[in-house]
Amino acid sequence: MKDTGFIDDRIELVIKEFQSLISIFYIVLVAIGMLFSYQKYQQFEINIFQYSEILDFLITPFRDLVVLGVTILTFMLVFVSYKSDQFIKHKFPRYYNSKWNFGLLKSYPIASIIFLITFLLFMFSDTYGNYYRKHFAENAESISVEFINNEIKNGQLIGKNSGYVFLMENDTVKIIPIETGIKQIIIH
């Protein structure tokens, strides 16, 4: 009779580590979603953090697939960079010179990886915000917001969250609280 306790313990450990990694990845993904939302709304001079709750950011990575795609791309770029450094170091030790990565991966591998990920995400989020603003006029949905008192506001939808609708009306940003008695939002 075989004792499978050791194998079961290892499987349980892998499952626990996987659960921890998934949780950490999701928290990082939410933080990245917050960064991308901030850059998007900052283009319209809206501080999205004043008008949002933490729950608004929990689905950001899945609501805007660009955020998810850029996050995956960033992690893949950093992984490929790290693996290519390791490959060159082991396959061509005579030619390996850590100066191409400023010696950071050799001296401070974890810190340099975190720095590279952070740098790329800030760069991509800024590019995303600029792209969104540049193409906003041609891609934004025209909507009408009808209030309970039958007042109607028309404009282009910048975005919305659980508490507010962000609307561009004649080059003016309107922030409309949903609690003010909106009767309906009509998308043209």
pLDDT tens digits, one per residue of 139-171: 888 888 888 888 888 889 898 888 888 998 888
Question: How do the domains of the chain map onto residue ranges?
Answer: 5-134, 139-187
> Would you say how long the chain is, in residues?
188
Average pLDDT across the chain, whole number: 81
pLDDT class of 43 with cuts at 50, 70, 90: very high
pLDDT tens digits, one per residue of 67-117: 888 888 888 988 888 788 778 778 877 666 655 555 555 666 777 788 888
Return all residues near 69 (Cβ < 8 A) that are at least 6 apart.
none
Name the H helices within 43-159.
54-58, 60-63, 65-91, 104-107, 109-134, 136-139
pLDDT class of 1 with cuts at 50, 70, 90: very low
pTM for the whole structure: 0.76
CATH T-level assignment (fold) for domain 139-187: SH3 type barrels. (2.30.30)
DSSP symbols for 80-111? HHHHHHHHHHHH-TTT--GGGGTTHHHH-HHH
N-term to C-term CA, the chain? 71
Percentage of the chain modeled with pLDDT above 70: 85
